[in-house]
Every structure is written in structure tokens, then in C-alpha cells.
Amino acid sequence: MNNRGGHSMHNHFIIKSLALTRPGGLVAVLTSRYTLDAQNPAARREMSGMADLVGAVRLPTGAHRRTAGTEAVTDLLLLLLLRRREPDAGPIDTTWEKVTPRILDGEKIHANSYFDNRPDHILGTLELGTGIHGSTTLHVRGGSAAAAAQLDAALTALTTSGIERGLTMAAPTADVLNERETRVGADPALWDGTVVDQGRGEFAAVADGALTPLKVPRTHARELTVPVRLCDKTRALVTSEARESEDTGQDLDGLADLAVGPPHRGCGAVCMDPPHWQLPVPHS
């Protein structure tokens, strides 16, 4: 999924995660405060177009200092947070798309409107301070001793509210269950996008860790077999070289036989595809 909206990295991956989540599924996100507080609502509207916000908790400044080495204020769009809507359902509440201007320490700031009615989901007191680049930014001043109890209370309230509004994980549909039953797992060492020759002119592509049938015209099947075998042998050689101290020159014979064979129109498209050359080396 391309970042067509030109969103920040944080927001792009939240949107991408929602797009990959089945209807009725839940997405838990730990992100910068700007996901909720940015004045431009474009990213939030795109999220809201797919999902409902179950709830949010604003963590104290420095909450991740020891774990992540960052001072960023963090919004926990949390363990029961964003719920992917069913295709025929409309949004339950769009308040979180907006921000509310307020005066803090004599300066105007913008904070997400979600917290206007849920001040208990802010684990501390809002104040202005200096950010990691020296600019003025929002801080949440809270004591570490009280934060754990406040977080527990906020999550309990959030969960209760989600249940009351029906924002819980839905059971998988019959189509989802059928897809799971027919799913064929791929070799964990293969990257998504890898083409696999299954014999008899049939091919599959790795997608999300599973083998997905790849339709190849019968006239192109033979041409595709050679570059796929070349990529397979290259991957095996790289893996072998990584595991063994001895040279594996004998394996080069097979590569040479394939490489000097007659030209194939599919070779450039398959062999130069990044998943085949960014080869994962399994750890023994």
C-alpha cells in the first residue's frame, strides 16, 4: 500500500495496518502525540474512514525514556483502540478527527478534541516545555508512582466504554474461516513477492507468509521456470556460504548452467526482483 496521502511515517503505518485488518478486528498502536494533535486532520480522517476509535490514553512525558531512549510525548491508541468497521457500517463518532485550540501557559496550542470529554485519559497535567529539538512543545507532567494506577483506571474505563458501544472484536466471517482452512504456508525464509515453481507449469507467489496461486499464461510458464530456478539456486548458495566455512564452489556449476542458457523474456522481471536478492539468511 503506497503512501498516497503523503502522511508521516507513523500515520502511514497506522493506516496501512488498518487496511490489512479484517472487519471487526482491532489494532493497537503506540504513536507520537501528533497522530491525534496535528492541526491537519487528513490522516485521522483516512483512519476514521476505515475504523472507529475505541479510545486513547495520553502517557506522561518520559514514559519511554528508559525503554526506547526517547522523550517524545506518546499517545497510546491502545489495546482496544481502533476497530476496523464492517463495509456497510458508518462511523460511530468522529470527534477524534478534530482538534481543540486552548491557551496553556499563555500560549495557544491544539489538542485532540477526544480528550475534552475524557480528561482522565491524560495521565498527568498538561504544560508547555522544551522538545528534543529545542522547540516549545506539549508536556504531560505526571508522577511515575501514580501513572500505573491511572493507566489501569483509564484502560478499564476505555474497555467498558468499548463494550457498551459494541466496539469489540467480531468473530471471523465464514469467508475468513474458509481462507484460513485453505491457506498454504510458505517457507519462512522466503520474502513476500517470491515466486515459487510448483511444477506442472503452476506457480505461486508468497504473500503474508502464505502461497497464493499465481496465474501465468501457458506460453510463458516454461520461460518463467528458468529464472525462478536460478533465484532458488542463488538463495541456496548464499545460505550455504553463510552456514559453512568451506567453499561451496561445486554449487556454482548449476548456476552457470542456468545463467548461460538461452535468453528468457521473464528473467529480468523475476531475477532482478528485490525479494530474490535481499536474501534472508536463516540462523541455525
Q: What is the pLDDT of residues 92-133, one digit of tens each?
A: 999 999 999 999 888 898 999 999 999 999 998 898 887 667
Shared domain for 101 and 207, answered yes or no, is: no
Shared domain for 18 and 144, answered yes or no, is: yes
Shared domain for 163 and 224, answered yes or no, is: no
Shared domain for 32 and 162, answered yes or no, is: yes
Mean pLDDT of the chain: 80
283 occurs within a structural domain? no
Amino acid at residue number 32: S
Shared domain for 26 and 154, answered yes or no, is: yes
Shared domain for 258 and 125, answered yes or no, is: no
pLDDT in tens, 206-242: 988 888 888 888 888 888 888 888 888 888 888 777 7
> Does the pLDDT of residue 273 top 90, yes or no?
no
> Does the pLDDT of residue 255 top 60, yes or no?
no
> Does the pLDDT of residue 168 top 70, yes or no?
yes
- Residue 31 structural domain: 9-174
Of 129, 149, 174, the position where a domain reaches its end is 174
Shared domain for 202 and 69, answered yes or no, is: no
Shared domain for 156 and 252, answered yes or no, is: no
Q: Average the pLDDT over 25-42 and give the result.
A: 92
203 occurs within a structural domain? yes
> Does the pLDDT of residue 249 top 70, yes or no?
no
1 occurs within a structural domain? no
Which range among 2-6, 89-93, 221-225 has the greatest average pLDDT?
89-93
pTM across the whole model: 0.64
Shared domain for 239 and 160, answered yes or no, is: no
31 occurs within a structural domain? yes
What's residue 6's pLDDT?
93
Shared domain for 62 and 107, answered yes or no, is: yes
Total number of domains constituting the chain? 2
Q: Average the pLDDT over 259-266 and give the result.
A: 46
**Who has greater pLDDT, 247 or 160?**
160
**Who has greater pLDDT, 230 or 45?**
45
Of 120, 150, 174, the position where a domain reaches its end is 174
Of 142, 174, 206, the position where a domain reaches its end is 174
234 occurs within a structural domain? yes
Model confidence at 78, pLDDT cuts 50, 70, 90, reads very low
284 occurs within a structural domain? no
What's residue 274's pLDDT?
39
2 occurs within a structural domain? no
Least confident of 25-34, 76-85, 112-121, 165-174: 76-85
Shared domain for 112 and 160, answered yes or no, is: yes
Shared domain for 167 and 188, answered yes or no, is: no
127 occurs within a structural domain? yes
**Who has greater pLDDT, 2 or 76?**
2
SS (H, E, C) the chain: CCCCCCCCHHHHHHHHHHHCCCCCCEEEEEEECHHHHCCCCHHHHHHHCCEEECCCEECCCCCCHHHHCCCCCEEEEEEEEEEECCCCCCCCCCHHHCEEEEEECCEEEEEEHHHHCCHHHECCEEEEEECCCCCEEEEEECCHHHHHHHHHHHHHHHHHHHHHCCCCCCCCCHHHHHHHHHCCECCCCCCCCCEEEEECCEEEEEECCEEEEECCCHHHHHHHHHHHHHHHHHHHHHHHHHHCCCCCHHHHHHHHHHHCCCCCCCHHHHHCCHHHHCCCCCCC
